[in-house]
Amino acid sequence: MTIQWFPGHMTRARRQIQEKLSLIDVVIELLDARLPLSSRNPMIDEILLNKPRLILLNKSDLADPAVTREWVDYFKREGHTAITADASTGQGVKDIPLKAKELIKEKIDRQISKGIRPRAVRALIVGIPNVGKSTLINRLAGRSIAATGDRPGVTKGQQWIKVGTEMELLDTPGILWPKFEDQNVGYRLAATGAIKEEILNVEDIAFFAIKYLCQYYWTQLQERFDLGERPEDLENPDGVVAVMEAIGRKRGCIVSGGRVDLEKASGIMLRELRAGKLGRFSMESPY
């Protein structure tokens, strides 16, 4: 479900997360590995108030592995611990409790030196809608936890989920809003399916994605849709539209007069892109 974020929602979402901060030791911030900055909440540092944080680049199965490695380095340089995961299959998920524990190692050591037996690390998952929060919670829990729902403002009694003996997780994730100011961020989020198409024009989203893919992942695009030559000048919209038309013809999106139905072609292309049919790709890189 895509949320319409209004200032009231944002304030409430922020307050709900901040209310939980006193209960937890570590925040697990979920980002989409294909677009870590665009899928990041713009106020995250202010919201989390220096709480130890593990950055989890989720959906790494869909992202370009070389670019994901660059992102892990980027976050390290920013002073964070970042790891990659694929919550849908569980790859990387088993490392989470240990990494979370490492983040509060000093606190644990202090407790041990005082003769206190440390309890399990308490964690909260936060992230924008569709980034994989529920999937990850279910994966960590090893079972299906009641639907958490992307409904800011809807609260329910929260419970701790045991993840082995090392970690306890709040069953309700913190839902954050994405960045809205930059239109390219919106296009990246829409191209990957993080926000629903209705918010932006489907042809504009496909145009943005195709232009990007022509530049960075031409071979994947060409092979998937059996295309000819890459447009020479990507700043000329005609070249990108010609690629969209070629994709439409390939998928039989022809209307009367032999014209290509660009709206239909755009929808098909984006569905295939999101389903990983064009192979792995990243929508932004740190360098």
The Cα–Cα gap between 171 and 184 comes to: 33
Q: Which one of 52, 97, 127, 174 is in contact with ligand G4P (CB under 6 A)?
A: 127
Subset of 71-100 contacting ligand G4P (CB under 6 A): 86-88
Give me the residue whose beta carbon is nearest to ligand G4P.
Answer: 132
Helices (H), the chain: 7-21, 44-48, 65-77, 96-103, 105-113, 133-141, 183-191, 202-216, 218-225, 237-250, 262-274
Q: Dihedral (C-alpha) 208, 212, 213, 215: value to the nearest 10 degrees? A: 140
Q: Is 62 in the site for ligand G4P (CB under 6 A)?
A: yes
CB closer to ligand G4P, 178 vs 248: 178
Q: Give Cα separations from 283 to 49, 84, 112, 156, 233 (angstroms).
A: 29, 16, 45, 35, 20
Taking the mean position of all CA atoms in its chain, how far away is CA 214? 23
Residue whose CB is less far from ligand G4P, 114 or 143: 143
H/E segment holding residue 161: strand 160-163
* Residue 132 annotated as part of some ligand binding site: yes
Nearest to 26 by CA among 135, 145, 167: 167
Position 166 contacts ligand G4P (CB under 6 A):
no
In angstroms, give the least distance from the CB of 228 to ligand G4P: 30
133 is in an annotated binding site: yes
Among 14, 20, 133, 280, binds ligand G4P (CB under 6 A): 133
CB 274, min distance to ligand G4P, A: 8
For every residue of 107-151, DSSP letters joined together read HHHHHHHTTPPP-PEEEEEEESTTSSHHHHHHHHHTSPPPP--S-
64 binds ligand G4P (CB under 6 A): no
Q: Is 201 annotated as a binding residue?
A: no
Q: Which of residues 21-60 bind ligand G4P (CB under 6 A)?
A: 58-59
Q: Contacting ligand G4P (CB under 6 A), which of 56, 63, 131, 278?
A: 131
- 38 assigned ligand-binding residue: no
Single residue of 38, 130, 172, 282 touching ligand G4P by CB under 6 A = 130
Min separation Cβ 265 and ligand G4P, Å: 22
- Return residues touching ligand G4P (CB under 6 A): 58-59, 61-62, 86-88, 127, 129-135, 150
